[in-house]
Amino acid sequence: MVADALKGDRIIGMVTLQPGFEPNYEGRPAIYGVGCAGYIEEVEELSDGRYNILLRGLVKFRVTGEDQSRAYRLARVTAIPEAIVDDQKAALHKQRERIETLLTTPGADPAIPPDVADEEVIDAVSQYVPLDPSQRQALLEQEGTVARGQALIELLESRPKPIR
């Protein structure tokens, strides 16, 4: 799949396998219907034919069908763009501030540079904070960045607090 993408537009889609996939991992286990398309920005081909890749996220999508003709999944998808409208910007900024508070040690400088857009902070934290796959999928499936930000805050607030 990666080799084919590198010969073409360098775009691949990523979806999460549904729980219970293990017995059918080498086949075509069930997937969630919402995933993300990404552009392959960096690639390292390994000696065993596998790849390490760095993807830049492009757009969320919904799987509408699959082509079974390849050794890997090839899907028909519908893009789910998430444009930010002006009346959401204040809410996103408040969410960013709350997320920074939840992730930063009191008295420490925020680790997130101030020039990073609020929606990028929400999406990056959603991607990198330790969550189980179903929680991460639930964040992805939220209808828009504001809803994802609120769901992320709720997840962060529900985590056990470290002992200091």
pLDDT at 1 over 60: yes
Chain position carrying tokens 């082509």:
67
* Cβ–Cβ < 8 Å for 157, 131: no
- Provide the CATH number for the domain formed by 2-80 in this structure: 2.30.130.40
What is the pLDDT averaged over residues 139-158?
95
Could you tell me which of 129, 140, 152 has the C-alpha nearest to residue 63?
A: 140
| pLDDT for position 127 | 87
Instruction: Please report which confidence band the pLDDT of residue 114 belongs to, taking 50, 70 and 90 as the band edges.
Output: confident
Instruction: State both tokens at 11.
Output: 């775009």
Q: Residue written as tokens 């056990």?
A: 160
Highest mean pLDDT among 21-35, 110-124, 136-150: 136-150
pTM above 0.85, yes or no: no
Question: Is pLDDT above 60 for 107?
Answer: yes
Q: Give alpha helix (H) positions in the chain.
A: 2-7, 89-103, 118-128, 133-140, 145-158
Give residue-wise pLDDT tens across range 57-70: 899 999 999 998 88
